[in-house]
């Protein structure tokens, strides 16, 4: 409130405020900003949570892998034999004794039970549906994480590296987004270690398919 001096004394002078229309416009704009911002904040929070969960799960599997190595003379290459389901079960069984799990699946029942089905419900980082066969042996851990094991000697090469299998984890279980590089992360099995896919010269990038995002998470790199 302001005042104006007159011969008769002091008289108040009303100050003009905002009109109802102006207030409504401001409220509308704030609402638009909030509506556009909240989903971004939520998605960012979820992605950070998935990355954090993978770091913990990788650390756990790495420790278990070290125990398995110690029991096998320090060499994954001689842990199992063959390249078929017998070898997949062998690798899973070597790990499961040291993991807390609620369900295990053999090669012929893993799809839809312990991991995602072929061509159904899981995706590459760029959004394309993963079409290749979801083969392997699986576990569902107590925290809901899905783990898929594959082993072979020889197994497919990874760039310049020789490897003996891979392990996939979905830290979010069967809940969406079921996407490689977001809540699904793959790891290599080399002769003497487990390592996230995406290390230099392994032929895995964080673009398109998203395999190489796993290493970026462990190395705290943005993508």
Low-confidence ranges of the chain (pLDDT < 50): none
DSSP 8-class letter at 111: B
How does pLDDT run across 88-143, given as a tens digit for each residue? 999 999 999 999 999 999 999 999 999 998 777 899 999 999 988 778 999 999 99
Query: What is the pLDDT at residue 209?
Result: 95
In the chain, what are the domain boundaries? Answer: 29-218
Q: Determine how many CB atoms are found less than 10 A away from the CB of residue 148.
A: 25
**Helix, strand, coil % over all residues of the chain, rounded to 5:** 35, 20, 45
Query: What is the pLDDT at residue 119?
Result: 75
């Amino acid at each position: 409130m302001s005042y104006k001096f007159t011969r008769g004394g002091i008289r108040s002078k009303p100050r003009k405020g905002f009109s109802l229309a102006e207030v409504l416009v401001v409220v509308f704009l704030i609402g638009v900003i909030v509506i556009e911002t909240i989903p971004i904040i939520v998605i960012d929070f979820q992605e950070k949570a998935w990355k954090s969960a993978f770091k913990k799960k990788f650390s756990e599997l790495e420790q278990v892998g070290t125990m398995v190595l110690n029991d096998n003379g320090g060499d994954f290459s001689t842990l199992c034999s063959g390249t078929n389901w017998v070898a997949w079960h062998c690798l899973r069984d070597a790990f499961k004794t040291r993991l807390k799990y609620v369900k295990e699946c053999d090669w012929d029942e893993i799809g839809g039970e312990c991991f995602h089905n072929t061509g159904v419900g899981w995706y590459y980082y760029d959004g394309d549906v993963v079409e290749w066969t979801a083969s392997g042996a699986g576990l569902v851990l107590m925290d809901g994480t899905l783990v898929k094991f594959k082993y072979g000697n020889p197994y497919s090469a990874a760039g310049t590296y020789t490897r003996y299998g891979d392990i996939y984890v979905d830290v979010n279980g069967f809940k969406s987004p079921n996407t490689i590089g977001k809540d699904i992360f793959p790891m290599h099995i080399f002769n003497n270690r487990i390592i996230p896919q995406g290390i230099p010269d392994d032929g895995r990038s964080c673009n398109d398919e998203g395999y190489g995002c796993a290493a970026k998470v462990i190395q705290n790199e943005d993508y």
